[in-house]
Structure 1
Amino acid sequence: MSEARRYQQLRAHLSYLKLGDAAEALPRILDAARAENLSLTAALERLLEIEVNATEARRLTSRLRFACLPEPWTMADFDFAAQPGVDAKLINDLASLRFLDDAANVLFVGPPGVGKTMLAVALARGAVEAGHRVYFTTAADLAARCHKAALEGRWHTCMRFFAGPKLLVIDELGYLPLPGDGASALFQVINQRYLKSSTILTTNVGIADWATAFGDATVAAAMLDRLLHRATVVGIDGPSYRLRNHQATAETMRKAVAAHVS
């Protein structure tokens, strides 16, 4: 068999095995093997590394698409110096994702604008990049989706969906009133995940006020019992991130106007 035919057949084999990135990189790797005097093993490892990296990139894109994260925030985006109400050591420990191994939960509790959602999304992004299946939703959207599923006879399918991800992020609990059966639906989701998978929950409602906020002391107590059994509660009581940004923008505009006038 001629070298040209062997080369074409090798590319055909790679394409048949759906190793498209390796097939595309083959000419470049062969050139490098000749120029750098690579061994057969080294050249093959370099070729397959390209395919592995491309495959992982596609899988990461797929996991991010499924996760529905509202922003591309990572832990590096959070300014601990500007938010003294956050325990940096505790957050960095959570960023190790050890809590996922224990099916433990994380609750971020504090007033609006202090960075609860940013931290939740950053942890979720880290979990996605580590290869875990993650899903983000707001409490209001979760309740509405469960309510619709119940009306359409898809309740069990809906529960399986929310039970599936390794990490479920439920944002903005307490910001909007839940529909009549919203608290019950939220409890059912948390109960499905109990001791099996982790949940991150952000809320502006203090734990002691859950019974009043949800209008059902029994459901609130049962929900908290499961959430807090294995949980890290992060209370944040500091300046508003959003207000700080607005103030910085206003100050920049004020200086620009003053400079223009002068």
Structure 2
Amino acid sequence: VVRRHVAPGEAVPLHPEAVAFAGHYDFDIDVLAAYRPTGKGRVERQVTIIRDHVLAGRAFSGLDDLDGAFMAWVPRRRARTHRTHGEVIGVRAARDHAALRPLPARPYIVADRFLRHVGKDCLVAFDANLYSVPAAKVRHRQLVEVRASAATVALHATVPDAQGITLLAVHPRAVGRGARIVDEAHWQGLPDGHTRATTTDPGDRGTRTGPARSAGTEPGGLVPLLARARAAQVHVGTRPLALYDQITGTRPFTPAPIDPKDMR
């Protein structure tokens, strides 16, 4: 309930989860002084009363027998007059119960909370498993909050959107390790390798979409591809190597004969 004990007179720092629980069921937290049993004696006294009036000197064959003994004792207890407020316990209990508000339609879910980063594939790693989040609502390396209960894993943004909503996705909690819990609708908007324009002409700057045809599937194989390349249009002159010997005044290069002994 409290995050730490403080000195007398200082404000007690409440745990955020306890504050959220109290807000959900609409009650206030009244913090008593630490190590002072007299401050909550009315609560502890109920344990002693049940032990002395229901359990002492008796043996029970099972839970049903124990519940029957307790329910038979409750009417006698409620018929007594309480020593503190001087009212009949049953009458005071009926008035207190009438003042209580109904329970919320949804129970409060106790969850462990962690911070995790979003991967490039819009997956969040938690407890050795991966869970997806919508690509349209997150970015790579964004920090999100994981709220893990016994049955579900809810992913929330750390900053609410324009409507004040932080929830990004809810998944069933994976059993074991190495599982990928993915909603494929979350991947809409991610590049899939089929949305980039491609061309085989360096001078083509069009906006064609879709994969280009490979060279092997076009008529003529590589010939049309080379014909479209700019390098194929450049004329390259050829001349014999002996021409360079004449220009430099050197003899033609003749390799020396190979001795069979050198080949051993």
TM-score (norm 1): 0.17
Q: Which is greater in Rg?
A: 2
TM-score (norm 2): 0.17
Structure with more relative contact order (C-alpha pairs < 8 Å, separation 6 or more): 1
